[in-house]
Structure 1
C-alpha cells in the first residue's frame, strides 16, 4: 500500500499544479521577440486593430467609435485574423456641461488606487534607448506619472515597484502575489500598466496640444469578474470620450485572465507602444488620472480649454467604486478540483473498497438503484 501511495501521490500533486496553473494563467501571455496580430473586418478586409497579444476565436473588441466586434478566424502562423461586427455599444451616461463648475461628490470617502507592472522590463525605445530593460523599465516612470496625477486629485496610490522578470509566459504568475498584496490595502480599482508593441502611429495622439499616446484597455474574459471589469472599462471610456476625445483607443476582451479573477475593478492598460516616446505616454498617464477619478469615484472634473474643445465640466453620478465586491467562484473551482482529485486518490489507494463501504449507501439513495 505504501509503495502504491508513493507512486500515485506525486502524480496527483503534479496534476493539481497543472490544473491550478491553467486556471490562473491560461492564454494570459503570448511571448514573441517580435510580431503582432493584425485583425481585419470580415466583410471589407479593412484593418480593424493590431495587438501584441494572443488573439483567439471568440475574443471581442470595442472600437474607438463604440462598435463591438467578435473574432471569427485566426491564422497563428501569419499572425492575422478576421472579426465580424456584432452591435453598437451604448456607454454609461456621463454628463458634460461647458463652462460650469459643480460641487464635487464623494468628498468624504477614502479613495485608493493600486498600480503595478507585470512586464517590468517594458520601455520606450526613443526615450529609454531600448524597448526592454533588465530591471525597472521605462514603464515604471509612466506609472509614476499616473500616480502623481491621482495624488494631485487627492487619491491615495499604492504603486508597487516589484519586479516580475523575465518577460515571458510566466510573468503573470509571478506578478500575482504583487496584485494580492496590493488588494490588502483595499483599493477601489487596480491597474496593471503596460506598453504595447505595435507600430507607433497606432497610438499617436495630441493632448492639450502636446504629444501623447492613446490608451488601450485589456480585459480577460476567463474569470468571474468580467462583467464588473467591463462596466469599469466602459465607464472609463465614457468619461474619457467627454474629457479627452480620442484618448481611449479601444477595449480588447481576450480569453486570458490577467490576474483579474482576484477582484473586480481590475484592468490592464496599454500606454502607447515601444516606439512611442515615454514622455508622450507620461503626458497621457497624468491626464488619465482625471478620468480614473471621475469614473471610479464619481463627481466631476473641469477640463482646461484647448484649440479642439472649450472648457467643460464632466460629471459621473454612478461611481464604479460602489461596485467593487467580487465573487469567490475562482477559489471554489480550485477547491472542487482538489476535492475530486482527493476522492480519486482515496479510490485508487484503497482499491475503491473503502469509498464503496463509506459512501455506497449514500450514492445509491441519491442516484437511485439500478433496476434488475
Structure 2
C-alpha cells in the first residue's frame, strides 16, 4: 500500500513537472514569436521612425512593448546581450557590472550638442502649389528628447522631429507649412562658427525665407527646455503632455507685437488644455541673446516644447494640441 502511494505521488510530480515544462515552453515560444514580430515592425532610423509616427501616432508604443518582452529581458540579464544591438552579441560579457539605463544627454543652449539632432525631411513629395503660411525652424537642431526604449534602435527624438510632426498636423488642417531642412550645425562649420552663434546662423535662413515668402503669418523657432520630467509634463485626461513655454526677447525694440502673438497662443492653449502652457518668459541683457531673431518679423515666436526627459509620444500629444490652436488662430477663430 505504501509503495503504491509513493508511486502515485512520484507519478503526480512527474505529471506536474511535464505540465509546467509545457507551459514554460509555450510561453517562451509565444514571447519569442511576439518579439520577432514586433522587431520586424520597428524602425531603425530617425526618418523611418518619423514616417511611422506620421502614419500612426501610437507607433511609439511598439518600442515599449518590445522593451518589456521577456526574450529581450533575458538576454540583457543573463549575458548583457541586447538582441537589438548586434555588437553586444560579440562582446559576450557574462556579468554586467551595472544594469543602469543610459541617461538622455542634456543639451543646454550654451553647450555644444552631439551631432544627432539633424533629421532629413521624411516626406519626399513637396507641395509647391500653395504658398506657406507657417515656417518652422530650429536654431538648436541638436536638442534631443528622451531616448528611453528608442536608443537601442539608433533613434534620437529631437526638436527637428517635433517640427516635422507639427508641419504635418498643420498641413492636414489646411495650413500650408514648411520646415527649415538645412543642417545648421554643418552650415556653422563652414563659417567657422561655434554653437554660441546658432542664432546668427538661423537668422540667415529666416531672412532668406522671408524674402521668398514675405507674407508668412507665423514663424516658429522650436526648442525644448532642460527640466525634470515632473516639471515639464502634465496629465490631461488620460494623456501625458509635454508642457510649452514661450520665450520673448526684450532687446528687440518692437517686441510688443511678438509678445502679443505669443500671449494669444499661450492663452488659447491653456483655455483648451489647462496649464499645458507655462506662459511667457521674457529675456534681455548681456548674458542672453535677447532678440532670438524676433526683430526680423512681428509674427515670430520662440516656443519650447517639453524638455530633455520628455518622450516623443508626450511631445506628439502636445504638437497635436498646438496644431489645433494655431489653426484656430490663423483662421480667425
TM-score for the superposition, normalised by structure 1: 0.48
Change (3 A) 1:225 1:207: farther
1:132-158 CA distance string (max 9 Å, x none): x9xx96211111121122112210001
Match of 1:230 in 2: 259
The match for 1:163 is: 183
Corresponding residue for 1:281? 315
Contact 1:115/1:193, CA 8 A, preserved across alignment: yes
1:239 to 268, 274, 298: 268
| Higher Rg of the two aligned structures | 2
Q: Check the 8 A contact 1:229/1:264 in 2, yes or no.
A: yes
List per-residue Cα deviations over 1:292-324 (Å, max 9, x = no partner).
12223312xxxxxxxxxxxxxxxxxxxxxxxxx
Once the 2 structures are TM-superposed, how far is the Cα of residue 125 of structure 1 from its aligned partner? 2.6
1:151-190 matched pairs, under 5 angstroms: 151-165=171-185, 168-183=195-210, 184-185=212-213, 186-190=215-219
Alignment equivalent of 1:191, drawn from 220, 224, 236 = 220
Q: Distance in 1 between matches of 2:184 and 2:131?
A: 30
Instruction: Give the C-alpha shift of residue 209 in structure 1.
Output: 2.0
- Number of the residue aligned with 1:143: 163
Offset from partner CA, 1:58-112 (integer Å, 9 cap, x none): xxxxxxxxxxxxxxxxxxxxxxxxxxxxxxxxxxxxxxxxxxxxxxxxxxx9771
2: distance between equivalents of 1:146 and 1:224?
29
| 1:182-216 deviations in Å (ceiling 9; x for gaps) | 22222101000011112121111224522221100
1:121 corresponds to which of 139, 142, 146: 142
Retained in 2: the 8 A contact 1:232–1:296?
A: no
Contact 1:145 1:283 in 2 (8 A): no
Matched, 1:294 2:328: yes
Distance 1:118 1:175 in 2: 5
Distance of 1:209 and 1:137 partners within structure 2: 23
Instruction: Quote the residue 1:322 is aligned against.
Output: none
DSSP 3-state at the match of 2:306: strand
In the other structure, the counterpart of 1:259 is 293
Pairwise CA distance, 1:290: 1.0
Q: Deviations over 1:315-350 (max 9, x none)?
A: xxxxxxxxxxxxxxxxxxxxxxxxxxxxxxxxxxxx
Which blocks of at least 5 consecutive residues in structure 2 are unaligned?
1-107, 114-129, 189-193, 285-289
Q: Which has the higher strand share?
A: 1
Pairs within 5 Å for 1:1-372: 31-32=110-111, 112-127=133-148, 129=151, 138-165=158-185, 168-183=195-210, 184-185=212-213, 186-207=215-236, 209-255=238-284, 256-299=290-333
Do the aligned partners of residues 180 and 125 (structure 1) sit closer, same or farther apart at CA in structure 2, a change above 3 Å counting?
same
Does the aligned pair in 2 maintain the 1:239–1:294 contact within 8 Å? no
Relative to its length, the structure with more helix (as a share) is: 2
Superposition misfits of 4+ residues, deviation over 3 angstroms: 127-130
Q: Contact 1:111/1:187 (CA < 8 Å) preserved in 2?
A: yes
Shift of 1:224: 2.8
Q: Secondary structure at the match of 1:125?
A: coil
**CA distance 1:178–1:110, shift in 2 (3 Å):** closer
How many aligned positions are there? 193
Instruction: Give the unaligned 5+ runs of structure 1.
Output: 1-28, 35-108, 300-372
Contact 1:148 1:286 in 2 (8 A): no
Contact 1:122 1:195 in 2 (8 A): yes
Deviation at 1:181, TM superposition (A): 2.4
SS in 2 for 1:195: strand
**Larger RCO, structure (CA 8 Å, separation 6 or more):** 1
Q: Following the alignment from structure 2 to structure 1, what is the Cα–Cα distance between the partners of residues 159 and 253? A: 28
TM-score, normalisation: structure 2: 0.53
